[in-house]
Every structure is written in C-alpha cells, then in structure tokens.
Structure 1
Amino acid sequence: MTKSVTIGELARALDARCWGDETLSVTGAAEPSAAGPVGPDGGVIAMAMSSEYARALQPGSMAILAEGMDPAEYDLKAAIFAPRPRLLMAGLTRAFDPGPDIAPGIHPSAVIDPTAQIGAGAAIGPLAVIGPEVRIGDNARIGPHVCIGKATAIGHDAIILAGAKIAQGVTAGDRLIVQPGAVIGGDGFSFVTPEESGIEEIRRTLGPRDRIVQQHWTRIHSLGGVDLGDDVEIGANSSVDRGTIRATRVGSGTKIDSLVQIGHNVVIGEDCLICGMAGIAGSARIGNRVVLAGRVGVNDNIEIGDDVIAGGASKIFTRVPAGRVILGNPAVKMETQMEIQKALRRLPRFAQQLAKLQETVTRLMEKG
C-alpha cells in the first residue's frame, strides 16, 4: 500500500510553512515534470526549489518551493516552503522511504549458530549466516547472503543489506547501515621483508637505489578488530580493514561512501564524510567533521586535524592542521593550489615570451 499523508501533516512533520489546500494527500515525491495535477486520491509532490526547476511544474500540482517563490505564479493547488531545501529533502525522503524489503522474522534458510543472541523484532533474510557468540540488537534487519563472524556485536536498529560481510570481532553501535557488498573486518594489508625492503629504502633515500635484491614478503597477521560508533554508514563495496593489534575505529555519525578503502589501524573521528573511491592508508588518524571528497588519498601514519576539507582527487602526504581546506597533488591550501593552476595556465605564454627574449638577446649579441 502506498504511504499517504496530507500536505499539512507533511509540512508540520518537516517544520515548514504550508500554502494552499492542506487536506490534499501526498503519496510520494517526484521531479517537476513527472508530478501531474492532484487527483481525487492525491498525488506526488514535486521538488522545485529554484525557478529553473519550477518552470516544469504542471498546473494543479503540489510542490516544495524555496522561500520567496510564489505558488500562484505556477497555478499550484498547494505548496510547502523550504527554508533549507536539502534539509527538507532529507525529511521528505525519510517520510516516504519504505526501507529494505526484508520480511519480518528469520528466514528458514538462514544459518544461525545456537550461541548467537538475536534481539527482539530483528529480521534475518534468506541464506544469511550468523556465527557463534554474535550479538544483534533489537529491530535489526539483516539482508540475504549477509555473513557475520564470531563474537561480533551489532547495536539496535541496524540495516545490513544483501551480500555484506562483517568478520569476527567487530563492534558496532546503534543504527548501523551497511550497503550491499561492503566488507568490514577483513585483514589489513601488512607485510614485511627480512631485510630492508625497496619501499623502506626509497622512503629513506627519496629516490636513489643503492642496490636491488630479491625480496620475499612475510605476512603480519591482523589481531585487532573494528569498532564502529553509532549512526555509522558504510557504502556499497567499501572495505574497513581490521587492526593489527588495536582496533580500526570509525567514530559516531561518520558516513562512508561506496568503493572506499579504510586501512588497518586507521582512526576516523565523528561526523566525517568519506566520499567515493577515497583511500586511507594504515595507521592514519582523521579528526572530527573531516570531509574527504571523491578519490582523495591519505598517506599512512599521518594525522588530519578536525574540520579539514579535502577537495576531489587530493593526495595528502603530510600532516594537515585543523580547519584547513586543501586541494591538489600533493595537497596544499586551496588558495595556493588555485594560484598554482593559474600559473600553469600561463606557462605556454611565458614560454613564448622567453623564446622571443632569447631571440632578441641572440641578435643583440651577434650585432655586438
């Protein structure tokens, strides 16, 4: 059954101002061109929070507008005004999100160790595997083909979607969301050679090679776990490696996008955003409220302070102080990087000017 609320109820739930007929039923949300006139059973509400989008509104429809826009101009039947559009969109999408399609109860094909503790109201999908001594909180929803390893503890109201793998010894707080295919608690990528490796030599010499010898890698085993705070989200096909001795940690409220790699022993603070294809190498420490945009790379064993924002594809090789905005490879202050880019664009003109100067100097020398 389609979820339906009146536009007045929706406005009050979103703490926003309503205009027009507050009794109209809202059954969902759509883009302006897809939201037709409201029918006898209601209709969808259009997201039109700028004049550019509002031009596609159809007469007789419902819309979410920005403050200052005039609903009568678009011949609407009702409207909600958004003082902060994206925040209102968060509330709207939450109101109409049906959640994952996981049937209540435990599917007969799920394999659950008798020592596992499953909280009240939890749902476990087909072919899920729950290992020994696992603890799953109340109202958790575990999708099909999910595997959860020995002695892992997951808090209340978790959503773990199809094919996610959570290894042994992971601890997660409440309201964890894990998207399909994510892996939490795999071994860290940690190896050593009996003698100084080529990598260690290059770090010491910054380039020159004394000699090249045959090397064999010896695995350093991962004995630590992974600790996740409350309200953490892990994107599809991302991985969070377990620590070597101590746990890899992700703070409460941190959101990790798809295809992100978090290395062993990494510590990430609270309320961070780690965007798609970012990679954080082992033992790096990330502060609170840090934003790493897509394809950002973080070197191992460095520290990034609180409230740092790193622009897309930045490569961070050294410590970054709190509050700094950085960009580039290697990453520097954003304003510095912008000046570098301006200078690079001027290089062809400088080269032409230099060539002309060289010609002039040559002619003068020949005449002299």
Structure 2
Amino acid sequence: MPYRIDELAEKLGATFEGDGSITIAGAAEPQAAGADDLALAMSPTYAAHLAEGQAKAAVVWPGADWQALGLKAAVFAPRGRLAMAGLTALLDPGPGMEAGIHPSAIIDPTAEVADGVAIGPFSIIGARVRVAAGVQIGAQVSVGPDSVLGADTTVHDGVRIGRRVRIGARVIIQPNAVLGADGLSFVTASPAYVEVSRQTLGLGEVTVPEDATWHRIHSLGGVEIADDVEIGACTTIDSGTIRATRIGRGTKLDNLIHIAHNVVVGEDCLFAAQVGIAGSSVVGDRVVAGGKVGISDNITIGNDVVLGGASVILSSVPTGRVMLGYPATKMDVQLESYKALRRLPRVLKKLAGGKAAD
C-alpha cells in the first residue's frame, strides 16, 4: 500500500522534513528510483546517484542537505540499515498464502489444524501433528508425525519437516529446508581406525576391525526450534540421538547451513551461508558466524563470539572472542601471522644473501 512521507516517518520512529504529503509505493536505489519510490540514499556515496533517478523523497543521513540533493522531502535515519528493516517490513506484501486448505492437500484425520490456517497444494500433514492459528504452509510441504507448528509460523514451498519436530511461534522456514532428518551417527562392533587415530593423533598403527560394518545409532530426539527463528533455503537440521537438537529464540540461519545431531544453538545467533556445525557442539547466545565457518564436534562456543568467514573451529572458544582462520585463532594473531607469512619469501631471500624481492 502507498504511504505518505509523514505517516512513514512516524511508523519508522524517524523524523522528516519537506512535503509530508508525498506518497510512495516502493523503495529503490537512488539511480533506479521512480517518481513513486522512496530512494535509499543513506550516505553521501549513495546520494550522489539521486540525479540519475526520479525520486522526490529519500531516506538520508542526519544533517544531509536534502534540498541541495534536489529532493522535495527527506526521512532522516541515524541508523540506515535499521530504517531499511522497518521500511522493507512495511512494503513487503508477504508470501501471498490465503487461508484455507487446498483440495489436493492430505491431512491425517488425527492431526489438529486450527481455523484460518493456509495449507498449499500437495502438502501432507502427518499423524498427530498440531498446527496452530495463523500458520501458513506452502505447496508440497510434508510434516511428519507428532510434530508441532507454533502460531503465525510460515513454511515455504518444498520444506520437509520430519517426525517429532517442535517449531515455535513466528518461525520462518525458507524453501526446501529439511528439519528432522536422521543424524550421521554410526558405530562399528570393535573400534575402527578413525576412533584409534583420534586418540593417537594418527601416530599409531592402522587397525582394521574384523567386522567393519557400520551400525546405525537411531535418531530419537527430534528437533526443537524456538520462537522467532528464521531458517534459510536448503538448510538442514538433524534430529538429536536421544535429546533434541535445539535452535534458540531469535536465531537466524542463512541458506545451505547444516546443523548436526545433538547440537544446541543459543539465542539471537546469526549464521551466514554454508556454516556447518558438527554433532553435540554447544553454541552460546548472540554468536555471529560468517560464511563457510566450520565448527568441530563436541566443543563449546561461548556467548558473543564472532567467527570470521571460512574459519574452522577445532577447539572450544571463550566468551567474547573474535576468531579467524584455519585453524582459527584470535583475529589479531591471525592477521599478524598472515602478514608475517607474506613477508617470509623476502626474508628468506635476504637470509640467503640475495636481493630482496619487490
């Protein structure tokens, strides 16, 4: 829906100057903005492109000379990305799922589905599943037996929810995520070489068991997703072995993430794409992990830890530590080591009596 500038500023908790009666119907980058768009010009760099577009109004930084930028109105955002969060929430039309159960959906007679729920084409709701009010389920979704979907949760197309998965309120699950698959948990009748090598650090003799058959340890624990969690496309969260794999309130997971069995992730964490957490590790609250971070099994990551992109965490990390590299060390130590490594060829050449390389 269109918004007047004065209405928009009020909803964003921001201030405005200029013609508050101007209406906007969308948001755009300055150079691409049409006459009905609110341009996002939250720094001088972005504002330099306003003349290339047709925006009458823009979100700008505090103190910006909006009139000199050729605008008729301006919304002032001390924290630009926070203003973007509010603005995009107002302008997002949502997934477009209408309440009601599509005729092709299959609902087990023992399932409990609240009034007003949306269930899309070819979706399957299993035995004893409970679906709370306000839930939206897209097309070709499957929900396994004894699972629970909390109020106002949105499950996009193609999601697979296994048995005994408990999902809280206002959770968003993007397409093709899989929750509740079996974990990778197997054992041989006698110790395999992988067990021995872990104890000897690979220095012992190679041992080959008489019976190398892998025996499955079944996944009985399920998955528990707390309120306000978001789970990205194609992300997988495995069931716990005996206790549940848990994701804490407010945590946001990007696409293509893997959370292994028995892992516990705390509240308000933020993980970028391709993060992998091995089995039985515990991650504290407000942990941020960049893309491709790998966390080894059976270790603990403290609260407020920041893990730089592509870091590999092989041992427990205390609260508040900023880590980088493989194997991950404190960020300042890692950067100094990297600088020293780059200098190494020049140093070696000097030691050999040759001319320093450029």
Shorter-chain-normalised TM-score: which range? over 0.9
Q: Is the 8 A contact 2:37 2:55 kept in 1?
A: no
Tell me, what secondary structure is at the counterpart of 1:73?
A: coil
Secondary structure, in 3 states, of the residue corresponding to 1:92? helix
Q: Distance in 2 between matches of 1:324 and 1:288?
A: 13
Alpha-carbon RMSD across the aligned residues, in angstroms, is 1.2
Find the counterpart in structure 2 of residue 233 from structure 1. 230
CA distance in 1, matches of 2:20, 2:335: 50
Q: CA deviation at 1:212?
A: 4.1
Normalising by structure 2, we get a TM-score of 0.96
Query: Hey, what does 2:247 align to over in structure 1?
Result: 250
What residue identity is the alignment partner of 2:163? Q
Q: Which residue is equivalent to 1:224? A: 221
Q: How does 1:20-39 map to 2 (within 5 A)?
A: 20-36=18-34, 38=35
Report the secondary structure of 2:76's partner residue.
strand
Select which of 136, 140, 162 maps to 2:157.
162
Structure 1 counterpart of 2:179: 184
In 2, Cα distance between equivalents of 1:269 and 1:76: 45
AA matched with 2:171: L
Cα distance in 2 for partners of 1:338, 1:201 equals: 35
1:50 partnered with 2:47: no
Q: Which moved more, 1:113-122 or 1:253-262?
A: 113-122
Corresponding residue pairs, total: 350
* Aligned-partner Cα distance in 2 for 1:291–1:110: 38
Residue pair 1:60, 1:75 contacting (<8 A) in 2 also: no
CA contact (8 A) 1:129 1:148 kept: yes
Q: In the TM superposition, what is the alpha-carbon distance from 1:328 to its structure 2 partner?
A: 0.7
- Does residue 91 (structure 1) correspond to residue 82 (structure 2)? The answer is no
In our comparison, the structure showing a higher alpha carbon Rg is 1
- Which of 122, 126, 144 aligns to 2:117? It is 122
Q: 1:260 aligns with which of 257, 262, 274?
A: 257
Question: In 2, distance between residues paired with 1:128 and 1:232?
Answer: 22
2:153, 2:310 → 1: CA distance? Answer: 32
Q: Among 249, 273, 276, which residue is 2:270 paired with?
A: 273
Percentage identity across aligned positions? 52
Say if 1:60 and 1:234 are closer, same or farther in 2 by CA, change over 3 A: closer
Aligned residue for 1:325?
Answer: 322
Give 1:104 deviation, angstroms: 2.3
Deviation beyond 4 Å, 4+ runs, structure 1: none
User: 302, 327, 331: which one pairs with 1:305?
Assistant: 302
C-alpha deviation, 1:208, in angstroms: 2.2
- SS of the aligned residue for 1:71 comes to coil
The answer to whether the Cα contact below 8 Å between 2:38 and 2:55 also exists between their aligned partners in 1 is no
SS in 2 for 1:348: helix
Q: Secondary structure of 2:100's partner?
A: coil
Q: Which residue of 2 aligns with 1:12?
A: 10
Partner residue in 1 for 2:336: 339
1:126 is aligned with what amino acid? P
Distance in 2 between the 1:269 and 1:316 partners?
17
Distance 1:60 1:273, change over 3 A: closer
Q: Distance in 1 between matches of 2:59 and 2:164?
A: 46
Measured after TM superposition, the shift of residue 350 of structure 1 is 1.3
Contact kept in structure 1, 2:323 and 2:330, CA below 8 Å: yes
CA drift at 1:209: 4.2
2:190 corresponds, among 164, 188, 195, to 195
Q: In the TM superposition, what are the counterparts of 1:287-298 in structure 2 within 5 Å?
A: 287-298=284-295
Match of 1:361 in 2: none
Deviation readout 1:12-45 (Å, 9 max, x if unpaired): 0000011111111110111111113x3xxxx110
On the 8 A contact 2:97/2:118 being kept in 1, the answer is yes
- CA-CA distance at 1:355 after TM superposition: 1.2
What amino acid is aligned across from residue 144 of structure 1 in structure 2? A
How far apart are 1:169 and its partner, in Å?
A: 0.4
Q: Residue 121 of structure 1: CA displacement?
A: 1.9
Helix, strand or coil at the partner of 1:339: helix
| Structure 2 residue runs without a partner (length 5+) | none
Q: CA 1:94–1:304 in 2, change beyond 3 Å: closer, same or farther?
A: same
Contact conserved, 2:39 with 2:55, CA < 8 A, in 1?
no
Q: Aligned partners of 1:140 and 1:203: how far apart in 2?
A: 46
Asked if the contact 2:192–2:207 (Cα under 8 Å) also holds between the matched residues in 1, the reply is no
Partner residue, 2:281: 284
Q: Could you tell me how far apart the structure 2 residues matched to 1:348 and 1:296 are?
A: 29
**Does 1:61 pair with 2:56?**
yes
Partner residue in 2 for 1:365: none
Check if 1:104 corresponds to 2:99.
Answer: yes
The CA distance in 1 between the partners of 2:144 and 2:191, in whole Å, is 36
Structure 1, unaligned stretches of length 5 or more? 358-368
Shift of residue 154 of structure 1?
Answer: 1.0
Contact 2:144–2:161 (8 Å) recurs in 1: yes
Secondary structure of 1:356 counterpart: coil
Give 1:120 deviation, angstroms. 2.7
Cα pair 2:25 2:37 within 8 Å, conserved: yes
